[in-house]
Amino acid sequence: MKAITIRELAGAVGAVRTGFDEHSAAGGLGIATSPSAPRDDRQGESGRGEGDDILGKDKESLRDSFSMLGPPEADDKGVDGCSMLGPPEADGKKGDSAEGEKEKGNREPNCGAGGDAVAGSACGGDLFSGPRIKSGVTAGGRDDIGGRGDGVGGGGDKDSGLKEDGHSGSSGLRLPRRCAPRNDNGGWGAVGADSVRDKESLRDADSCWIPDQVRDDNLRDREIIGVSTDTRTLGAGECFFAIRGENFDGHAYVSAAVEKGAACVVVEDGACVSGCGVPCVVVEDTVRALGDLARWYREQLGAKVVAITGSAGKTTVRHILGHVLSQHFRCHQAKKSFNNHIGLPLTLLGADEDDEIIVCELGTNSPGEIEYLSRVAGPDAAVVNNVGEAHLEGFGTVENIAQEKTSIRAGLRDGGKLLINVDCAVLVSYCDEAGLSYVGFGTGASADVRASEVKTTGLAGELVVDDMVISVPLAGEANLYNALAAYAVARQFGVTADEFAKAMPGLESPEMRLDLQYAGRVTIINDCYNANPASMRNAVETLGHLVRGHDGRAVFICGHMAELGADADRLHAELGGTIGAAELDLLVGVGAHADVTVEAAARASENGLKTRIFPDVEVLCNNLQQIVRPDDIILVKGSRAAGLERAIDELVGLFG
């Protein structure tokens, strides 16, 4: 990460207040800060579809109780600074509050740590008294993801819940507004996306975030050299963002971050944090603040950004593209599947100032997320790899998924391009009906980047594009289409088909995605990171290719596909039909919907498919030695929530 100052950070995230106190980090409402609070090591990694989104599946958990903390004017002594949505008027009247927040701003004003409830500084006296906000300006209210007052496609999309005025449409994941840095005229206002990009306004925002008690310019200009949400990976000189998740609270680890050398911490207003001892930036929502910082930081870099989404294959496309582009440019890419509200910002913030291209992926399991992430990333190239029956629980129909995926165009920069898979009929139909301009890749005659031939041997494959044979050393036919998507993007950066082909021999499989492993005489296909109907079909086909001419058995250890909603039984039955027709030797169903899948497979099989069912992974692992034989080829696949990586470890231990 390019070093930035605390001054710049506080301006970028729209700090409610910032300061330094050896006793406490933030005033507000007491929250549990026990060192024994559960931890989470995902660091933004998300399979998107496993129910492990750090923001939680309950949309109300997205900070519905946060207020703007607009403090009173200097002559207004008696207003509680911890309860109003909007700043009070000069005459002492309550300021305007935005739609949807009328009942959600009031909170108990005392966390019981020796503060002054009237002054609104419950944990640390009046050190964090906050900025003075000019009267008559609404600072409160919520907007849907990506709303921010900067418009969504010229007025918003009512179906996605995104409105130009920042208020709710019919649906959408909602995140809070925040205060803006003070403008040149001394006024205050709600910040929009464009305001965040005004570097000068950030550097002139001293009085916005530094209280009178903190006058040390060295503090303001202290540099941070990285950002972390996990104290176990945090390095000295980095900024620690205290993130609240479903099962943990990062505020419980502020002291641990300080002990590891954090240069500053970012905490939520209302968090009672003791023993900080380093500069502390107080924001309404640390998740949103992390995104704001990433968006601002992206603007400071000269790098081009590629953003990739799709129902399947986005990590592999990102992996292939990053590998190829790194042969020609300084290229930074996401770690693993960092594709959510935590992972994407961490990816952007991990780029160095001399990086030329940043390759990131965007995931979703509910409406509005892709648009928000796109606006954070500000891509020069936005890719929709495919649209399929994934996350139906959150979207209802494939058409709704197409709408969500194509909202990746929302953050495109001037001159940016949308690239889509034109072999995907529902995707093309949506884009054409919406009048979108795009670059198409695929195998059909209408493709701008066309593969005239695609063939796989199971372990690897070839595609012919621009009269060049490109050998792809990845298992499964789907990975050939992933390679085609990567080539379509690489070509936008001047990479020729010949150069792309020459980069392929050094390509390795992404972890846990049709990743071949060997344990003695047993071959394991590790594809247990995620699962949806399309990726399941591809994995079964790959197993069928590999077992041809092989003396051992074809074994499928099959977990469930998550987040399919009301279609779950139907789609698991269809998967069973695919398995039954594939002429495998043994199907082992594990966990949810295993009975549906196994029964459908048994009905469809014409070669005496043997089956077993286990209630969970633990019972499976206890029986693996009796199930598996030497020379077996074993496909292990299911949604991440199934936890089938434990079966991989057990197989390696037994036969490796």
- Whole-angstrom distance, CA of residue 390 vs CA of residue 531: 8
In terms of Cα–Cα distance, which of 228, 371, 208 is closest to 293? 228
- Edge-to-edge strands of the sheet including 468-472? 331-333, 357-361, 304-309, 381-384, 417-421, 439-442, 449-456, 461-465, 468-472
313 carries a ligand binding annotation? yes
**DSSP E strands, 20-74:** 24-26
Please, are residues 413 and 426 in contact by the beta-carbon 8 Å criterion? Answer: no
Model confidence pLDDT, tens digit, residues 288-345 = 999 999 999 999 999 999 999 999 999 999 999 999 999 999 999 988 889 999 999 9
**Among residues 195, 76, 217, which one has the least CA distance to residue 135?**
76
Residue-wise pLDDT tens digits, 40-85: 443 444 433 333 332 333 333 333 322 222 232 333 333 232 222 2
pLDDT at 554 over 70: yes
Secondary structure (3-state) at 583: coil
Q: How confident is the model at residue 390 (pLDDT cuts 50, 70, 90)?
A: confident
Q: Is the CB of residue 332 less than 8 Å from the CB of residue 359?
A: yes
- Taking the model in full, what pTM does it have? 0.67
Residues 6+ apart with CB under 8 A from 291: 341, 344, 345, 372, 376
Q: Which contiguous run of DSSP H or E holds residue 539?
A: helix 533-547
Token look-up 């077992």 returns: 547
Say what percent of the chain tops pLDDT 90. 56
How far apart are alpha carbons 416 and 538 in whole angstroms? 32
The secondary element (H helix, E strand) that includes residue 515 is strand 515-519
Q: What is the pLDDT of residue 274?
A: 61
* φ and ψ at residue 615, rounded to 5 degrees: -70, -30
Nearest-CA neighbor of 130 among 120, 140, 116, 144?
A: 120
pLDDT at residue 157, rounded to an integer:
34
**What is the pLDDT at residue 187?**
27
- The bridge status of strand 586-590 relative to strand 468-472 is unpaired
**What is the rounded CA–CA span in Å between residue 357 and residue 350?**
12
Per the DSSP assignment, residues forming a β-bridge with 450 are: 442
Assigned token pair, 337: 């599947």
Residue 265 to residue 206: CA distance in whole angstroms: 18
What's the pLDDT at 391? 66
Instruction: State the pairing for strand pair 468-472/461-465.
Output: antiparallel
> Is 311 annotated for ligand binding?
yes
Q: What is the pLDDT of residue 273?
A: 66
Alpha helices by DSSP H, listed for 73-225, are 193-196, 199-203, 206-209, 217-220
Query: Quick check: 36 pLDDT over 80?
Result: no
Residue with token string 């975030």: 209
Report the pLDDT value the prediction gives residue 172, as an integer from 0 to 100. Answer: 28
- The Cα 373–Cα 58 span in angstroms is 19
Report whether 578 belongs to an annotated binding site.
Answer: no
Q: How confident is the model at residue 86 (pLDDT cuts 50, 70, 90)?
A: very low
212/204 Cα distance (integer angstroms): 16
Q: What is the pLDDT of residue 457?
A: 84
* Model pLDDT for residues 502-528, shown as the tens digit of each residue: 999 999 888 888 889 999 999 999 999
111-120, 228-237, 292-301, 395-404: range with lowest mean pLDDT: 111-120
The reported pLDDT for the residue numbered 217 is 58
Is 314 annotated as ligand-binding?
Answer: yes
Two tokens at 83? 């309860």
- Burial of 189 per CB tally in 10 Å (0-12, 13-18, 19+): middle
- Using alpha carbons, select from 134, 143, 26 the residue that is nearest to residue 87: 134
> Above 60 in pLDDT, residue 430?
yes
- DSSP character for 499? H
| Domains of the chain from N-terminus onward | 1-61+107-133+185-290 (3.40.1390.10), 301-506 (3.40.1190.10), 515-655 (3.90.190.20)
pLDDT in tens, 603-617: 999 989 999 999 999
Distance, CA of 81 to CA of 506 (rounded, Å): 59
CA 249/CA 253 separation, integer angstroms = 8
Return the pLDDT at 442.
Answer: 98
> Which whole-number Å values give the CA distances from 587 to 243, 361, 533, in the listed order?
41, 33, 17
Q: Average pLDDT over the chain, rounded to whole? A: 75
The pLDDT value recorded for residue 147 is: 32
* 315 assigned ligand-binding residue: yes
pLDDT at 178: 33
Q: Find the angle CA(330)-CA(504)-CA(361) to the nearest 5 degrees.
A: 55
Asked whether the beta carbons of 286 and 341 are under 8 A apart, the reply is no
> How far, in Å, are 68, 248, 310 from residue 212 at the CA level?
20, 34, 49
How high is the pLDDT of residue 275? 58
Is pLDDT larger for residue 3 or for residue 204? 3
pLDDT digits (tens, 9 = 90+) for 259-284: 999 999 999 987 766 656 788 999 99
